Amino acid sequence: MAFLCLVVLLAAGFAGFFWFLLGVFEQPDLQTVAVTPADWRSAQQKIYALARRGRASLGRGGGGAEPTVLSEGEINAFLSRHLADAADLPLTAVTIRFRDDATVEFAGRVPLRAILTEPPMPRLVEMLPTRWLERPLWLHLRARARLELTGGRQRRYLRLEVTHFWLGQRRLPAFLLRLIVNPAALRLLRSPVPETMEGLVVEPGRVLIRTAS
The percentage of the chain sitting over the pLDDT mark of 70, rounded to a whole number, equals: 75
* Residue 91: pLDDT over 90: no
Phi/psi of residue 25, each to 5°? -95, 0
Q: Residue range 108-133: average pLDDT?
A: 73
13-17, 79-83, 108-112, 180-184: range with lowest mean pLDDT = 13-17
CB neighbour class for 65 (10 Å; exposed up to 12, middle 13-18, buried from 19): middle
Nearest to 138 by CA among 30, 4, 5, 14: 30
Architecture, CATH, for domain 27-211: Super Roll (3.15)
Tens of pLDDT, residues 61-71: 555 578 899 99
pLDDT at site 160: 93
More confident residue, 170 or 51: 170
* Residue 32: pLDDT over 90: no
Q: Read off the pTM.
A: 0.77
